[in-house]
A = this chain, B = another copy of it.
Amino acid sequence: MGSKKTKRRKAAVTQAPRLRLSDRLRLPEGPVDLAALSTSETVGFDGDKADGVAALAALDDELSELQEKLFAHGRSGGQRSLLLVLQGMDTAGKGGAVRHAVALMDPQGLAHTAFKAPTREELAHDFLWRIRRRLPRPGMVGVFDRSHYEDVLVTRVKSLFPAATIGRRYAAINRFEERLATTGTTVVKVMLHISKEEQRNRLLTRLDRPDKYWKYRRGDIDDRALWEDYQRVYEIALERCNTDITPWHVVPADHKWYRNWAVAMLLLEALREMGLDWPSADFDVEIERGRVLAS
């Protein structure tokens, strides 16, 4: 755990306070060792849970305004959009991040998709077919709860496809995402990283509370038995698809409040980066004012 944490801290000292959270959580190039990445550190945040909840709420105004600018941009012929890709082990909090962080945004500008096991129709197409159909249109913020990465994760752990088929998908994903980026979609890829112990706690909570029974699937335990296998295929996917243009971010997710704040911050930073202004008027303001007053 030491080396990555040290690297992050050092970077913070050197470049703080201007270092963006996305720089701090961005996965460095090269081989990935998930066990060496903290699941509980609150990278880039000084404070406790109450501070984190308040800090999340404090992002609302700017996030709302920037999202509305993106939406306005799309309505005015602009081509930009934003896509948040959420991955993580069961109980990592993909749904929670949507419920608490993504929910700060206006539903009118959101396009949320939770990808499940592919249907027969989806399996009859290339693995990116169903993904393309759910990409955000211009002006929109797309959110993928699971994504095309499942096609190199669960499929690889369970050998659902020949190894050679899966092996070709990493490059296909990189080409796909690069094309997205060059056609106006900012892709923010987030892996919510929890410890195996935290997963156990969360599964037990689901069994303790009748209002959480519906979230429990017996199959979760079968996947949990494959924890190490999943971590390994995650490491491969993270390494091979961690490009300059669409890098991976690993968010320590044992603390739900930190996870929510971090996801909201990553969205906010991506929107800031777009540098969008309100679209200018495509009409003569004075003439139109006269028309309204006369009507």
Contacts and interface: CB of A to CB of B under 8 A. Distances in A.
Interface of A: 72, 75-76, 95, 98-99, 102-103, 105-108, 110, 112, 114, 143, 145, 200, 203-204, 207, 210-211, 213-216, 218, 221, 224-225, 278-281, 283, 285, 288-289, 291-293, 295
A202 to B, nearest CB: 10
A98 B95 CA distance: 21
A17 to B, nearest CB: 29
B288 A218 contact: yes
A295 B90 CA distance: 14
A97 to B, nearest CB: 10
A225 B110 CA distance: 33
5 residue pairs, one from A and one from B, having the closest CB atoms? A72-B214, A213-B281, A203-B292, A99-B106, A214-B279
Nearest to A114: B108
Interface majority SS on A: helix, strand, loop or mixed? helix
Contact of A210 (B95, B211, B278, B295): B278
A103 B107 contact: yes
B278 A213 contact: yes
Nearest to A201: B292
Nearest to A227: B295
Given A107-B102, A112-B108, A112-B110, A216 B289 contact: no
B103 A207 contact: no
Nearest to A211: B278
Contacts of A280: 210, 213
Contacts of A285: 207, 213
Nearest to A102: B107
Contact of A288 (B102, B107, B216): B216
Nearest to A217: B283
Contacts of A225: 295
A221 B295 contact: yes
Contacts of A110: 107, 110, 112
A95 B106 CA distance: 9
B292 A200 contact: yes
Nearest to A196: B295
A239 to B, nearest CB: 27
